């Protein structure tokens, strides 16, 4: 599972600066839902070998009593969700009563935390940090978030224990289908027979299906509808993960693992339970899933949060199925308006199937699994090099690559580079100079030719290097002598 890092501290200590540096964007997911604090931001981060979720909890100030209340309101939930807490202080401002109050609060919770002294650029860092030893910490870490100094070492120290733990847990587990094939398998030249065998093997693995969406869109109702149908067999599974409930199930002879981010309810308590939403649970479920089922409320406009969740699933390379819930009871004019709005705002995931359902009454729910299987099949099919190269040749015959500085870009061959999502690696000359429009053309051509539906497809380009480039002697000595003899013979004939 992806580790979670929470940034905690009083206002203006540089939490947002560090957040933006780690996520490399200001477009982080903002938790503005009922039950979550508006100023908490969630973002996906990757630094070195570490991939993690980072939370900016907002500023905490006031007296110790104020800290207790504001921590409960703003940051306690984020700290509970986090695997490690980075307690940030301002090296230029020095130790403050708020810092002491926050430190006392963190000391009471059983959560790994690290003291981070920020803004030490251009000053004597050790002298500026000296007062913070009063907090009773064993270690402190000095950084300059604005310039990135010390950030890499900080994240390494914070997340290395989790990376080691994850590596140990990975031993003996079923192969995670969301990971790319390893280096040797990427280089393997699949024949048609081998590709078919690999495809059959992958189809025997359970499909991990994550049901995600905003609060009150019907995720819980849909989950219980799926589990309550007579054709579905549900098995007891001892233990659950810390963040989501994983439910092995079978439908029409196909095995699934349903990832429920809202929690599975007993049928008698469905109407009594208030659905809760957790951004971290959702992001982790997306990371762990093979197929993501996003539930949208037909009676509400598509929100930026819906688009953010879709974008996260797309960037993670997950297969996507869309379920527009609460479709029953809408008049025809409203339905037409909703469809037009979907077409307008969801063009970037035009490969995903859209289903109009009623989770409460079960209308259209059964057809969801047809699209889930279709998306998983598209995402896991292995295609041989000969087929991928032939499709590439057909694409270039229909529409030649553009000229780059007077020379035509030449595409030589293509092979599979991974699955879930499918990756096609194309080799050629000057491929890095291809415009984005032609790259999109190739991607759409492959999608149409391979009949890929429900999953994103990625095209990677690799330039073919000249093995003799940079070498002074391009021929052996014997070849040089032979060349001279031939040139001499040609001169004699001309005479």
Annotated binding residues: 9-16, 56-60, 118-121, 213-220, 260-264, 325-328
Annotated binding site for GTP: 9-16, 56-60, 118-121, 213-220, 260-264, 325-328
443 with 460: CB under 8 angstroms? no
Q: Return the beta strands (E) in 316-457 as ranges.
A: 319-325, 353-356, 403-404, 407-408, 410-418, 423-429
How many angstroms separate the CA atoms of 223 and 3, rounded?
Answer: 26
Name the maximum alpha-carbon separation found in the chain. Answer: 106
Angle at CA of residue 195, ends 193 and 201, nearest 5°: 105
Q: What single DSSP character describes residue 174? A: P
DSSP, collapsed to helix, strand or coil, labels residue 193 as helix
Residue pair 277/215 in contact by the 8 Å Cβ criterion: yes
Alpha helices, H only, 44-191? 64-70, 76-81, 97-108, 125-129, 151-170, 183-187
Q: Do 280 and 310 form a contact (C-beta atoms < 8 A)?
A: no
Outline where DSSP puts E strands in 326-471: 353-356, 403-404, 407-408, 410-418, 423-429, 458-463
- Give SS3 for 98: helix
d(Cα 265, Cα 262) in Å, to the nearest integer? 9
| Assigned token pair, 365 | 């729910």
d(CA 86, CA 89): 10
């Amino acid at each position: 599972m992806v580790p979670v890092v929470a940034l905690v501290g009083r206002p203006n200590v540089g939490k947002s600066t560090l957040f933006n540096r780690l996520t490399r964007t200001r477009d982080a997911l903002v938790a503005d839902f009922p039950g979550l604090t508006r100023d908490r931001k969630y973002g996906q981060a990757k630094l070195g070998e570490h991939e993690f979720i980072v939370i900016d909890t907002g500023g905490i100030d006031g007296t110790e009593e104020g800290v207790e209340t504001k921590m409960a309101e703003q940051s306690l939930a984020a700290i509970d969700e986090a695997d490690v807490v980075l307690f940030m202080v301002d090296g230029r401002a020095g130790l403050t009563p708020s810092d002491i109050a926050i430190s006392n609060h963190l000391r009471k919770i059983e959560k790994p935390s690290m003291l981070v002294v920020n803004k030490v650029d251009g000053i004597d860092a050790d002298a500026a940090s000296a007062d913070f030893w009063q907090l009773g910490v064993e270690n402190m870490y000095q950084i300059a978030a604005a310039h990135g100094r010390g950030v890499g070492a900080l994240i390494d120290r914070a997340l290395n224990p989790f990376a080691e733990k994850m590596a140990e847990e990975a031993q003996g587990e079923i192969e995670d289908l969301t990971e790319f094939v390893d280096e040797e398998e990427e280089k393997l030249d699949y024949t048609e027979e081998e590709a078919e065998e690999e495809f059959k093997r992958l189809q025997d693995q359970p499909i991990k299906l994550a049901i995600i969406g905003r609060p009150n869109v019907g995720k819980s109702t849909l989950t219980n509808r799926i589990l309550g149908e007579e054709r579905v067999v549900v098995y007891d599974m001892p233990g659950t993960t810390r963040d989501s409930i994983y439910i092995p199930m079978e439908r029409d002879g196909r095995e699934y693992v349903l990832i429920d981010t809202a929690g599975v309810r007993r049928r008698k308590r469905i109407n009594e339970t208030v659905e809760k939403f957790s951004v971290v649970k959702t992001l982790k479920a997306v990371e762990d899933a093979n197929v993501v089922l996003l539930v949208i409320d037909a009676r509400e406009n598509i929100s930026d949060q819906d688009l953010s969740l879709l974008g996260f699933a797309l960037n993670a390379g997950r297969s996507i199925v869309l379920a527009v819930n609460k479709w029953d009871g809408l008049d025809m004019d409203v339905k037409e308006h909703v469809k037009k709005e979907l077409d307008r705002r969801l063009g970037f995931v035009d490969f995903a199937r859209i289903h109009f359902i009623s989770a409460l009454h079960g209308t259209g729910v059964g057809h969801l699994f047809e699209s889930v299987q279709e998306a998983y099949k598209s995402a896991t099919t292995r295609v041989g090099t000969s087929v991928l190269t032939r499709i590439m040749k057909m694409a270039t015959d229909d529409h030649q690559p553009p000229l780059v500085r007077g020379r035509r870009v030449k595409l030589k061959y293509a092979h599979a580079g991974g699955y879930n999502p499918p990756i096609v690696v194309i080799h050629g000359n000057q491929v890095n100079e291809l415009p984005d429009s032609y790259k999109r053309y190739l991607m759409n051509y492959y999608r149409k030719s391979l009949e890929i539906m429900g999953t994103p497809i990625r095209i990677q380009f690799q330039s073919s290097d000249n093995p003799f480039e940079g070498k002074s002697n391009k021929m052996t000595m014997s070849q040089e002598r032979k060349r001279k003899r031939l040139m001499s013979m040609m001169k004699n004939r001309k005479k």
